[in-house]
Structure 1
Amino acid sequence: MKVEKPARYVGGELNSVMKDPGEVEVNFALGFADTYEVGMSHLGINILYEVINALPGVWAQRVFCPWTDMISVLRESGEPLRSLEGGMPLCDFDIVGINLSYEMCYSNVLAMLDLGRLPMLARDRGDGDPVVIGGGACTVNPEPVADFFDLFVLGEGEEVTRELCLLFARHKKEGFSRAAFLREAAKLEGVYVPSFYEPVYNTDGTIREVAVRQEGAPPVVKKRIVENFDAEQTIKKPVLPYINTVHDRCTLEIMRGCPRGCRFCQAGFAMRPVRERRADTVRAAARSVIAATGYDEISLSSLSSGDYSQVDELVGGLVREFSDQRVSVSLPSLRIDSFEKDLAAELQRVRKTGLTFAPEAGSQRLRDVINKNISQDEIIATVVRAFESGVSSVKLYFMIGLPTETMEDLDGIADMVKSIREAFYSVPKEKRRGFLNITVSASCFVPKACTPFMWEAQDTVETLGQKQQYLRGKLKIKGVKFNYHDAATSFLEAVLARGDRRLAPALLMAYRNGAVMDAWYEFFSLERYMEAFRACGIDPAFYANRERAAGEVMPFEHLDCRIGKAFLRRERDRAYEGVTTQECRKQCHACGLQDICGLAKKQVNR
């Protein structure tokens, strides 16, 4: 009675995995540094839950960051944070794995470790404490939180997580030594043990080198790639939550990687190469998930679903198979230039839904800079096809603060919205349905590791705010709703995205001063972090608002995302020349993954 949504904490959901504790050799806490509703919607967590629990003698139990009311209850009662399946305190697990999906969740990581009664700093843990593992999108540069983790998994987690579990089981049987386990784990491809490395700084605060301090540790840690993606385990029987989650549906991964090369997009580069699942594999997974859950929507997930080579066959087959059960099919990541009228009609057969597109920039010049490779004519032709198929609700995603952006580029966003509105009313009345609703969302550009724009300076908070208000005035149009992301939050995200280990004491201080749930606007306080930065002698603008020299050593220089730095720099140069780069499945640009891409092509052809 003391907390909102107690179903977040009780467990016992349909399809949750229960094992006999007496037969378990390795207890694995599968953690997510956000709320239950967000974590249960995360594809990676759902995949790893089934992957780990398929291992004999290994039990993966879920744990999520409690909401602020439950944090208070735990602190007042003295109760530790526990897992959902077995009710085990976090400190009693062998391994605690936490997904790092977003930089603004770092304070939640500290809350989970603290509430779970683990030493928050890795150097303070002994042989009897859990091994704390980090994984997920932020491991492209995990340096700001390196002090809190024993090791990180770089890249894709299925294969390497199995290997780590088996390695831990062997060490546990032999009498566990944390140091010995970490030395052997560091030999696995994709495993990064941060205590084995030490950044060395220049007098100006930049990094001179990242020195190896442990004999036998690799000088560069390469991310792990699942090469035979179609053969890798899929979700078959996901846990069915008691309460609504962010994505309350059957989510199936159809493709990894993206061939497009949008220059601001970390996922588009870090998740290369492009690999597909066969349509038959996806349909079999859909049958299993729908039978196990009763969901009424199948979402086909990837970074660019329209680039999936069998999209028409897959969507048509799923619609025909599941329409009698009133199960709809959605493609949440459609590019404008991959949208066809026939595909729109298929998607609308069971349930009428709006469509979401991401032009990202309002002018053709800026779309060329970011390598979006779509024209204004393509955008208008696409929305007309959508309107003719019965769509009357459109969401448009843009980004402000992009390199070389001018106020004329912001004017282009408003002009595009007006053109789309005109296009709706140009469709004959008998073909269009309802009233037009356009939602325009503008995020703030954040320079990220492993992208051509990782050298760029971010606009200041003040400049971003001015651009937001300018665009807000331009979009006061009937039927148009404008949303924009908090500039202060994006500033801290930029600090953490390219930060180094000197940020860890400030993160810890901010947490102890009340920072938690920073991804939620109502709890975020930039001033709390600014106070911590001042106390630790850190200038956050050094990380966010400073352009990097071409030869500067990055904090993540020793972590190889398998994309060549020279290639990324060439792409940055092409951006400033306004030259686009063709998608990599049509022409190889030697990004560094040519050999694996060749293997991926063979798998798709089979």
Structure 2
Amino acid sequence: MNTQLESLLKKVEKPARYIGNEFNSFHKKVETETIRFAWCFPDLYEIGMSHLGSLIMYHLLNEQHDIFCERCYTPAQDMETAMAEQKMPLFSLESTTPLHQFHFIGFTLQYELSYTNILHMLTLANIPLLASERKSTDPLVILGGPCAYNPEPLAEIADLIVIGEAEEVILEIMEAFRVHRQDRDSFLIACASLQGVYVPSLYESIYDEKTGKFLKTCPVNESAPVQIKKRIIQNLDTVFYPQKPLVPYLNVVHDRATIELFRGCIRGCRFCQAGVLYRPVREKSLSVLIDDAQTIIQETGYEELSLSSLSTSDYSQLKNLTEALTAQFCDDRVGLSLPSLRLDNMTMEILKEVQKVRKSGLTFAPEAGSQRMRDVINKGISEEDLVTAVKNAYEAGWSQVKLYFMIGLPTETDEDVEAIYQLVSKLDHEVFQKRDKQLTHPLRISVSVSNFVPKPFTPFQWVPQDTIEAFDAKHQLLKEKFRHRRSISFNYHDAQTSFLEGVFARGDRRLGRVLLKAYQMGCRFDGWAEHFNFQRWMEAFEACGIDPLQYTTGKRLIDEALPWDHIDVIVTKAFLQKEYNKSIQGETTPHCRSSCSACGFQQTHLGGICP
């Protein structure tokens, strides 16, 4: 550790965020040909170290002999102040090298409200914010992650944007750099030919000169494809997965070992962007998962193992997997965590297996209170499914259940909102109030309500978002209802942050200048309530002459050009339109194991279930 950093750490609350050297971290000798990659997460260490995708990429890149991938997270305010006092630029954890000395600066885009933190980290690293202002000696800024599927708000910031799953394409990008490292322009053109790579500088957005309406995004270089097709990993059994993942020094949000069961989702929830982006379903085999789990637990010492996916209870061999893992780890007191459970297929047998070591909390997502709304969003569950699932969990010994709902969904009425309270009240009565006398432990229900934000590549990408005032009214309605139910805790998401999320989720390239202006006015850590300043954002929109409501409350026509039309996720727009029309009629679509919904994929070599 260098002496300058050592003096800084004496001034901050949590020095473990910045010292590196965690168990299973990498340390390499830097040679002349070493490609230096700074993997950056635009939030605090505790958040970034919980992100599975970042850990995969960190270990994958470091498996290459000539690549040294190091990490960096957004420093907290106390560390930022201390660094400014000593004029120390932002640095990597592994070697404390200033970020501006790296070849690549990579960011994962998990949340729209983290965008200002990207600008902040670049500023702290003395790296120009705009790609057009960077010199050949500056690092290349590469972005990826779910928010990258609408890349336009950050198009002028990024040199490269990865669309889709990155394990294969990131190595192809590194190979292109080996060939073209002395010529930045030829490197970018070479990358544009790779499936899943978007080079924004090779494209321009066209707007109507009179109305300002977005018309299209098109290439300005013949080497750039008209559409950028997302990258898909075909075989999860053979794709890289870290066997010796990093173990953090301090408690992080998800402080446990993780195995990834499958990618994609058989369900067709119409609000869910991830269910479209990660199609088709590809499962890992049972033997690979058991081997992964054994090795990871041995190499980390964790006492909890998370079985990760978009819908864990849809893994086709979940019962066999939980039985095998319980038998393997029971003596070592390693518990299993099953996030993302379905209400309609969570069996008592699996619940009993999971609770043999310890009971972690159970989380279910009914999403809507009324059956009508659940049909609109194609959730595919009933009130009976919820009551049965919670009864089973309660009788198996669980006393705490978290329930997630959304408000602001298309066609929603006040009656639909109030139905959330009615459903939870019925659940409390049926499961706890009418309990067997021998079951004396109380049932505690935690209700969390988020605000629906229409996202690209979903059937709801055309619908207006509720106004802030409408969200606030619905929050108040539920808050009054739940006020006197002491066994039920109720919380909800802030309407102003949801508004801003909606703006950038469906925004175009013009929002880049709003982002820059807001950052210059002091906006950062916008996902944190104590830092978020809505008024500054509104002033930034006004200063740039942009009305944010055009991106949220304005209804978009089905045949209207969308800022993300040049991105190809393989699921067709015709399918999304059909699903939107069915939602208005309250018609449901069977899940993919029941019948094919003809979304655009076919039964192919991908080896998964064709959505």
Give TM-score scaled by structure 2 length.
0.96
- Do 2:123 and 2:129's aligned partners in 1 also have CA atoms closer than 8 Å? yes
State the alpha-carbon separation in 2 of the partners of residues 236 and 514 from structure 1. Answer: 41
Q: Relative to structure 2, which stretch is displaced further, 190-199 or 72-81? A: 72-81
- Do 1:533 and 1:540's aligned partners in 2 also have CA atoms closer than 8 Å? yes
> Which residue of 160, 182, 197 corresponds with 1:191?
197
> Which residue of 553, 571, 584 corresponds with 1:563?
571
- Do 1:274 and 1:600's aligned partners in 2 also have CA atoms closer than 8 Å? yes
Q: CA deviation at 1:178?
A: 1.1
Q: CA deviation at 1:59?
A: 0.9
Q: CA deviation at 1:106?
A: 0.1
Q: Deviation string for 1:182-216 (max 9, x for gaps)? A: 00000000000011111111232321121211112
1:32 corresponds to: 41
Q: Deviation string for 1:514-559 (max 9, x for gaps)? A: 1111111110011111000000000000011111001111111101
> Which residue of 117, 134, 138 corresponds with 2:126?
117
Q: CA deviation at 1:68?
A: 2.0
> Which residue of 515, 522, 538 corresponds with 2:523?
515
> Which residue of 468, 473, 481 corresponds with 1:466?
473
State the alpha-carbon separation in 2 of the partners of residues 2 and 145 from structure 1. Answer: 34
- Do 1:274 and 1:597's aligned partners in 2 also have CA atoms closer than 8 Å? no
Structural mapping, 1:9-408, within 5 Å? 9-22=18-31, 25-172=34-181, 176-202=182-208, 203-408=210-415
Q: CA deviation at 1:597?
A: 7.3
List structure 1 segments (4+ residues) > 6 angstroms apart after TM superposition: none
Q: Does 1:453 align with 2:460?
A: yes
Q: CA deviation at 1:593?
A: 1.6
> Which residue of 558, 574, 579 corresponds with 1:550?
558
Q: Does 1:591 align with 2:603?
A: no
State the alpha-carbon separation in 2 of the partners of residues 379 and 442 from structure 1. Answer: 17
Change in Cα spacing, 1:543 to 1:411, as seen in structure 2 (3 Å) is same
Cα root mean square deviation, aligned: 1.2
Number of aligned residue pairs: give it.
598
State the alpha-carbon separation in 1 of the partners of residues 559 and 156 from structure 2. Answer: 26
The alignment partner of 1:62 has SS state of strand
Which letter does structure 2 place at the counterpart of 1:185? C
Q: CA deviation at 1:573?
A: 0.3
- Do 2:364 and 2:402's aligned partners in 1 also have CA atoms closer than 8 Å? yes
2:6 corresponds to: none
Give TM-score scaled by structure 1 length.
0.97
Q: CA deviation at 1:478?
A: 2.4
Change in Cα spacing, 1:368 to 1:252, as seen in structure 2 (3 Å) is same
Percent identity over paired residues: 48
- Gaps in structure 1 of 5+ consecutive residues: none
Which letter does structure 1 place at the counterpart of 2:91? R
Change in Cα spacing, 1:72 to 1:210, as seen in structure 2 (3 Å) is same
The alignment partner of 1:200 has SS state of strand
The alignment partner of 1:594 has SS state of coil
Q: CA deviation at 1:71?
A: 2.0
Q: Deviation string for 1:87-107 (max 9, x for gaps)? A: 111110011111111000000
Q: CA deviation at 1:166?
A: 1.6
- Gaps in structure 2 of 5+ consecutive residues: 1-9
Q: Does 1:538 align with 2:546?
A: yes
Q: Relative to structure 2, which stretch is displaced further, 150-159 or 587-596? A: 587-596
- Do 2:34 and 2:66's aligned partners in 1 also have CA atoms closer than 8 Å? yes
Q: Relative to structure 2, which stretch is displaced further, 163-172 or 546-555? A: 163-172
- Do 1:384 and 1:427's aligned partners in 2 also have CA atoms closer than 8 Å? no
Q: CA deviation at 1:265?
A: 0.6
Q: Deviation string for 1:42-63 (max 9, x for gaps)? A: 0100111111111121111011
Q: Deviation string for 1:212-253 (max 9, x for gaps)? A: 111121000011000112211112111111100000000111
